[in-house]
């Protein structure tokens, strides 16, 4: 199994504007969904690996079996889906 993590960051002003204007929030969410789809599509078409013994390796395509896209409202690790420590441990720090 191969896991690929792609992080796309935008200027903080985008999230600030989105918090003040619902139409910007809607446009931002839509743009993030389109970007995630493009990235996943590109990976599905272009992802390869090498197999075989050293010196005789060949490059082969890799099938993308599953993809997950998520988003966070802040840049702190506690907003990252699935990667934050449990809340009690995070609060104790």
Q: Residue 3's pLDDT is what?
A: 79
| Residue 4 vs residues 1, 13, 21, 58, 89: alpha-carbon distances, Å | 10, 28, 33, 21, 27
The pTM of the full predicted model, rounded to 2 decimals, is: 0.62
Q: How would residue 22 be classed by pLDDT, with cut points 50, 70 and 90? A: very high
More confident residue, 59 or 4: 59
- Evaluate whether 35 touches 29 at the Cβ level (below 8 Å): no
Query: Do the Cβ atoms of 58 and 52 come closer than 8 Å?
Result: yes
């Amino acid at each position: 199994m191969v896991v690929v993590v792609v992080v796309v960051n935008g200027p903080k002003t985008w999230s600030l504007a989105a918090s003040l204007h619902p139409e910007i929030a809607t446009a931002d969410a839509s743009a993030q969904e389109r970007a995630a789809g493009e990235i996943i599509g590109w990976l599905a078409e272009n992802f390869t690996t090498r197999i075989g013994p050293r010196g005789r390796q060949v490059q082969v395509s890799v099938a993308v079996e599953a993809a997950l896209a998520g988003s966070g409202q802040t840049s702190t690790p506690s907003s990252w889906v699935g990667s934050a420590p449990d809340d009690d441990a995070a609060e104790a720090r």
